[in-house]
Amino acid sequence: MMGRLRLLIMLALLLLLVACALDKSGYVPPEQHPVDAELPPKPPICIDCHEARDENINWAQFNHTIYFGENHRQQAYRQNRVCSMCHTPSFCSDCHATRIELKSSDKNPTQTYRRMPHRGDYLSRHRIDGRVDPSSCFRCHGNPKTAQNCTRCHG
């Protein structure tokens, strides 16, 4: 098994070397959102400054509307470099890491404006939500380590 893993890592390194050799990047988003256009703390609506889409990025899909907190996975799956222009990985890890004992709404209880899920009596509601759509539970609790919270009751 370890031999196979080594082979895989070498393959990954080889691919990286190919990319390194070719290195034809074209457009590269800046590492950070430009300081001279610093974003306000309020939820950013990207298209207030950017075109809805330019030849590189579809900015409209990153508008932080009232639904963005509960529905941003498609944007992150495809173009998370845009996310990282404003957010450090720790911002994502507070919710999406493999082992977080303190759920984000408990870690940041005063940040009510983020409308974080699992607030209030979610212990009761999750019985209903979980039966209606278990796929949404599985996204975050779908491996043995993250399912440790579930197995206390679900065996």
Partner 1 sequence: MTGVVNFFSSRWVCCALLTIMLFFPAGSSALTSNVELETILRGFARDVPVDGNSRVIPAYTYLKLDLKNITPTGISFHGYGWGRYDLADSGFYDSQGQGELLYGYLEYHKKFSSLRARLGRIHVFEGVANETLDGLWGAGKLSPRVSLSGYAGQPVGLSSTNDRSGDSLFGGRVAYDGGEKYLVGFSAKFSNNDGNTADRMIGTDLIYYLPKDMTLFGFSKFNTDESSFAEHSWELRIPFEPFDIKPYLQYYDYDSYFGTGDKAKLPFQNLAQSGESLAILGVDSFWRKSEELNLGAKLKLYSYDQNDSSQYIALVANLIGEERTQSGGELGYMRGEAANNNYLLLRLYTYQDQLPAKYWVSFVSADLVYALYDKKINSEDSSLFISLGAGKHVWNDALDLKLSGDYSIDPFYDSDLRVMLSASYSFGRGL
Distance of closest approach, residue 30 Cβ to partner 1, in angstroms: 10
d(CA 102, CA 81): 27
Q: Binder to partner 1 among 36, 37, 80, 104 (CB under 8 A)?
A: 80
DSSP H or E run through 15: helix 2-22
User: Does 133 contact partner 1 by CB under 8 A?
Assistant: yes
Q: Binder to partner 1 among 26, 34, 36, 37 (CB under 8 A)?
A: 26
The site string for partner 1 over 93-132 (x = CB under 8 A, - otherwise) reads x--xxxxxxx---xx-xxxxx-x---xxx-xxx-xxxxxx
Q: Binder to partner 1 among 49, 52, 86, 87 (CB under 8 A)?
A: 52
Distance of CA 16 to the CA centre of its chain: 24
d(CA 80, CA 139): 17
User: Does 38 contact partner 1 by CB under 8 A?
Assistant: no
For residues 63 and 86, the answer to whether their CB atoms sit within 8 Å is: no
Q: How many CB atoms lie within 10 A of CB 29?
A: 13
User: Does 33 contact partner 1 by CB under 8 A?
Assistant: no
